[in-house]
Structure 1
């Protein structure tokens, strides 16, 4: 089995407030099977908890809502309320944070997402681009959370990813040594919540862009 992301043996910064964990699929224990093709979203018995109006809607959207799962986590941390993930995506759609193109879904699109946060939740955020992992401590000195674009293989940090970006994780703390984050598509307990990776390891997956959510 590939090595799993783990906090073990890696000293790092502590997250500044407890953040409840939510996966982008409703049954976290199925994520490993879903991302490796051994199961499908249609087999998720908890799909209704997503706010999807049908199983078809859940299947269509659940692979695209890593950003909404990050939002669900930060909203729960701030307010104690749990917002259904697919319902959040439906709310974001008219703001342009997602674009439906036939059978395809494009997004998360950062600038409209920032406007969605402001309009729907009164949350201040800004788009961050053209940075490196070395900039993350300074970003997190100003931000409460950072939705970071990473390659989804970050769940297996020993992998050499084929590229960077394509998936969002919720960074909750960063120092010159390490990054702490929650991964909506973590495949096991060690790769989901409060994962700590050395800064350089995180950088192998980091696309140098994301959304910084400012303190509220």
Structure 2
């Protein structure tokens, strides 16, 4: 699992210091850490979060709050994984997870108080049921110890926007 907190050694090795404060950038790197995990899942070369950050700065993908969804989708495609930033109703999430993971815009830790957005996580699968359990990867510190959430709870913090990817082709079982 990739973390959004950029390791100081990685930051120094890849020239992150030229961008400014590592901790400040780490606080906005959830989308790039999620993209790195997607690239790895698809068997693509996966630059470090610092290298992705440099590409994002060069491609004008970043805002003061984080990376633009369309920019992450464009960068994913440039790195070999076809993707689209699109609105996606919460009730459609489980069916979309049948073919591929996706990056969803949520509020960190999935609060149920109505706040939505500001954090990007990977939704990677689900267990069916009356309230499907969604499996996720969250690059934040909290996400290191949490990996699933009921769809009803996710719905409270989900913005209705996602970055979707081409179907993930698993290896031939023969």
Same fold (TM over 0.5): yes
Residue 181 and residue 82 in structure 1: after superposition, are their counterparts in 2 closer, same or farther (change >3 A)? Answer: same
Q: Which has the higher contact order (CA 8 A, sep 6+)?
A: 1
- Gap runs ≥5 in structure 1: 1-20, 27-45, 100-104
Do the aligned partners of residues 130 and 171 (structure 1) sit closer, same or farther apart at CA in structure 2, a change above 3 Å counting?
A: closer
1:151 and 2:112 correspond: no
Aligned partners of 1:129, 1:77: CA distance in 2, in Å? 23
Counterpart mapping for 1:174-193 below 5 A: 174-176=126-128, 177-187=132-142, 189-191=144-146
**Partner in structure 2 of residue 209 of structure 1:** 161
Give distance in 1, aligned partners of 2:145 and 2:66: 27
Deviation per CA, 1:26-48: give whole Å up to 9, x if none.
Answer: 4xxxxxxxxxxxxxxxxxxx412
2:54 maps to 1:90 = yes
CA RMSD of aligned residues (A): 2.3
Cα deviation for residue 88 of structure 1 reads 0.3
Q: Is the CA contact 2:106–2:121 (under 8 Å) kept in the aligned structure 1?
A: yes
Distance 1:178 1:109, change over 3 A: same
Tell me what 2:26 maps to.
62
Instruction: Give TM-score scaled by structure 2 length.
Output: 0.80
